[in-house]
Structure 1
Amino acid sequence: MNWIRVALVGAVLVLSGCASKGDTSGWGYPPMAVPLQPSIQQEIQLSRLDQLLQRPDVDDVTRAKMYYERGLIKDSLGLRDLARVDFTQSLTLKPDQSDVFNILGVYYTQNTDFDGAYEALDSALELDPNNQFAERNLAIALYYGERYDQAYEIAQKHYNDAPRDPYRAIWLYWIGLEVDAKVATETFQKQYQQRTDEDFGWDLAGLILKETSEDEFLKKILTTTRNNVALAEKLTEGYFYLAKRYQYEGDYPNAIALYKLSMSNNVYEYVEHRYSFVELGNIYKALRDLQEQKIKEQQAQEAKEAPVAPQEKSTEKEMLKEEATAK
């Protein structure tokens, strides 16, 4: 089966609901929010910044700030290429902006340009060693770049700086799985058991560890969330980390569909939305490599089983005739 076809099959499986798994059997369709749309406030802010940037009396520092703010709005609307242009313009006018290097590093990671990501995020941390977002994003970039030991070292430091933060524990777990899966799982379970608050991130941790069923997790979101924006944000996170769990277990069809569900809410500024693209690319590559390996094995087996024609021996008379002809 072609690897692209395999990916499409995965999407079809979950359109019948995440209920293909036992503990979500109550869902006919996966819970979804109305995808977020541009607000009138965002449109007004964009228009206002466009006008201000055309004024000749704006100094470079202020102009750099406006480019950064306009880039953030464009980023929140999913206009990432246009946002990147604004961020680059901002750095041209004011190069010492740690936050701008940080978000550019995330862009490079999303595009799997890991060398660019390392350089941008290193610059962010050089300018501001206390930039916690840049520190986390550097660990994630190293993780996706398969530099697991370095990623784990940074993720461990990042977690130690705020051990009550569930998201730091979650990413330390994913990275740790590539270093020592047993230790990572035991540590994550201990962190979960020692939680001291009701942060939604710990609900995600419980889902990842299967301490909470998918059905319970989704019901809690739907019964405790009061507006569509919050629902979209929580489902973006929930579907992403559930997809990673399925992916780690080798259940690619459900993982593919869940990553797509995570992106469907249009919560563009969330790292879970951004890195869904990276994860899907990794799955497609794994499926393609698996298919190519199966083809090679099949060809080798066919060659091994093919009948070999017996080699015909020339008689002495034929050999003499061939010699005479040659002369």
Structure 2
Amino acid sequence: MRKTLAVLIPLMLAGCASLPSTSKTDSRLILAEPMAVPFQSEVELVRLEQILARADLNKEQRAEVIYHRGVVYDSVGLRALANRDFHLAVKLNPKMADAYNFIGIQAISDEEFDQAYDALDTAIALDPKPDYAYLNRGIALYYGDRPELGVPDLKKFVSLQPDDPYRIVWMYLLEDAVDPAKAMTELNANAKHLHGHAWANQLVLLYQGKLSESDFINGLKDGIDSNQALAERLCEAYFYLGKLHQRHGDTGEAINFFKLALTTNVKDFIEYRYARLEIKRIRRQLAQAQQKAG
């Protein structure tokens, strides 16, 4: 496994670039220009503020607009403002499942797991149809060190779209935390449902050990036609590479890949959100280990 990556990313990097790797692979890491706040998001915030200024909105309508404003705030990284809006939305309309879902997601990032469980339980009770609530509750249980309780949620999540490689990988991550041998068996079984040439299928091949890390990284730019598409792909790729190295106990390399995911600035992706959480958790574990050793 890799020992160090020693990645130094100049602040003035722009566009697509590659970075020599100091790892045992011969690949060159791919970089993208970090995503800026979309102008459309600023326009949308102005529009929503104008709607909220109207006096003829009932509680449900006002809750819906405030919720959408929270979604925009969340997508640009203004988490405190987003959190305020999601809580205000459910206060105005206690039946708004989507707002509870976002409250749960933000609580996971803050490691407030009891709050996450309550919010996501409420979201599913109010509307069991949105399948991503099952993913989010499974992730909450995973990071809350109760992965065995999250496995049923991920099984349901995968069953609703069994050919989705992201669902298959998250299913593997939870099962691997419970029973690694069974997790690999399930991963291989679920991989049989994949079809087509979707890039994310390579994530499953990587986790199966059927695709080398070098070949995986070298193919990251395939089919990419814009910096946004590249940044989004790299955010995902580097997060899952971080999780793979973490699984093998290579925490230093895992941290570096999680940092690379953060450099994309794709703030509305769960991979970006949880890359920061992963770094925080690893650093805490390392500090605790040092204290015990000292």
Superposition TM-score, scaled by structure 2 size? 0.90
Deviation, structure 1 residue 266? 1.2
Counterpart code for 2:190:
Q
**Residue deviations 1:250-276 (CA, integer Å, cap 9, x gap):** 111111111011011111111111111
**Residue deviations 1:179-210 (CA, integer Å, cap 9, x gap):** 11011012213333552222232111222333
Instruction: Give unmatched runs, 5+ long, in structure 2.
Output: 10-18
1:108-119 matched pairs, under 5 angstroms: 108-119=107-118
Give the Cα–Cα distance (whole angstroms) in 1 for the partners of residues 281 and 108 of structure 2.
Answer: 13
The answer as to 2:163 corresponding to 1:164 is yes
Counterpart code for 2:261:
S
Task: Give the aligned partner of residue 20 of structure 1.
Answer: 22
Task: Give the aligned partner of residue 317 of structure 1.
Answer: none
Give the Cα–Cα distance (whole angstroms) in 2 for the partners of residues 98 and 194 of structure 1.
Answer: 30
Counterpart code for 1:244:
K
Deviation, structure 1 residue 94? 1.2
Q: Is the contact between residue 13 and residue 253 of structure 1 (CA under 8 Å) also seen in structure 2?
A: no
Give the Cα–Cα distance (whole angstroms) in 1 for the partners of residues 180 and 271 of structure 2.
Answer: 22
**For 1:31, what is the secondary structure of its paired residue?**
strand
Give the Cα–Cα distance (whole angstroms) in 2 for the partners of residues 84 and 184 of structure 1.
Answer: 35
Give the Cα–Cα distance (whole angstroms) in 2 for the partners of residues 40 and 48 of structure 1.
Answer: 13
Counterpart code for 2:21:
A
Give the Cα–Cα distance (whole angstroms) in 2 for the partners of residues 165 and 20 of structure 1.
Answer: 33
Give the Cα–Cα distance (whole angstroms) in 1 for the partners of residues 133 and 247 of structure 2.
Answer: 26
Deviation, structure 1 residue 228? 1.0
1:132-171 matched pairs, under 5 angstroms: 132-171=131-170
Give the Cα–Cα distance (whole angstroms) in 2 for the partners of residues 147 and 219 of structure 1.
Answer: 36
**For 1:68, what is the secondary structure of its paired residue?**
helix
Q: Relative to structure 2, which stretch is displaced further, 56-65 or 80-89?
A: 56-65
Task: Give the aligned partner of residue 292 of structure 1.
Answer: 291
1:63-82 matched pairs, under 5 angstroms: 63-82=62-81
Give the Cα–Cα distance (whole angstroms) in 2 for the partners of residues 143 and 158 of structure 1.
Answer: 14
Q: Is the contact between residue 163 and residue 193 of structure 2 (CA under 8 Å) also seen in structure 1?
A: no
Give the Cα–Cα distance (whole angstroms) in 1 for the partners of residues 48 and 203 of structure 2.
Answer: 38
Give the Cα–Cα distance (whole angstroms) in 2 for the partners of residues 167 and 39 of structure 1.
Answer: 25
Question: Bigger radius of gyration, 1 or 2?
Answer: 1
Give the Cα–Cα distance (whole angstroms) in 1 for the partners of residues 206 and 262 of structure 2.
Answer: 19
Aligned-pair Cα RMSD in Å: 1.8
The answer as to 2:106 corresponding to 1:107 is yes
Task: Give the aligned partner of residue 308 of structure 1.
Answer: none
Q: Is the contact between residue 242 and residue 254 of structure 2 (CA under 8 Å) also seen in structure 1?
A: yes
Counterpart code for 1:234:
R
**For 2:278, what is the secondary structure of its paired residue?**
helix
Q: Is the contact between residue 33 and residue 232 of structure 1 (CA under 8 Å) also seen in structure 2?
A: yes
Counterpart code for 1:219:
N
Task: Give the aligned partner of residue 207 of structure 2.
Answer: 208
Deviation, structure 1 residue 18? 6.9
Counterpart code for 2:6:
L
Task: Give the aligned partner of residue 302 of structure 1.
Answer: none
Counterpart code for 1:22:
K
Size of the alignment, in residue pairs?
283
Give the Cα–Cα distance (whole angstroms) in 2 for the partners of residues 18 and 208 of structure 1.
Answer: 23
Task: Give the aligned partner of residue 51 of structure 1.
Answer: 50
Q: Relative to structure 2, which stretch is displaced further, 80-89 or 13-22?
A: 13-22
Instruction: Give unmatched runs, 5+ long, in structure 1.
Output: 1-8, 296-327
Query: Quick one: structure 1 residues 92 and 33, their matched pair in 2 at CA, closer, same or farther if it must change by over 3 Å?
Result: same
Superposition TM-score, scaled by structure 1 size? 0.82
Task: Give the aligned partner of residue 262 of structure 2.
Answer: 263
Deviation, structure 1 residue 136? 0.8
Give the Cα–Cα distance (whole angstroms) in 2 for the partners of residues 180 and 161 of structure 1.
Answer: 23
Counterpart code for 2:194:
R
Task: Give the aligned partner of residue 123 of structure 1.
Answer: 122
Query: Quick one: structure 1 residues 83 and 231, their matched pair in 2 at CA, closer, same or farther if it must change by over 3 Å?
Result: same
Q: Is the contact between residue 208 and residue 241 of structure 1 (CA under 8 Å) also seen in structure 2?
A: no
Give the Cα–Cα distance (whole angstroms) in 1 for the partners of residues 181 and 56 of structure 2.
Answer: 61
Query: Quick one: structure 1 residues 179 and 26, their matched pair in 2 at CA, closer, same or farther if it must change by over 3 Å?
Result: closer
Give the Cα–Cα distance (whole angstroms) in 2 for the partners of residues 52 and 157 of structure 1.
Answer: 38
Deviation, structure 1 residue 91? 1.3
Deviation, structure 1 residue 293? 2.5
**For 2:77, what is the secondary structure of its paired residue?**
coil
**Residue deviations 1:35-89 (CA, integer Å, cap 9, x gap):** 1112222111111211221222222222111111111111111111111111112
Q: Is the contact between residue 70 and residue 85 of structure 2 (CA under 8 Å) also seen in structure 1?
A: yes
Q: Which runs of 4+ in 1 moved over 4 A?
A: none
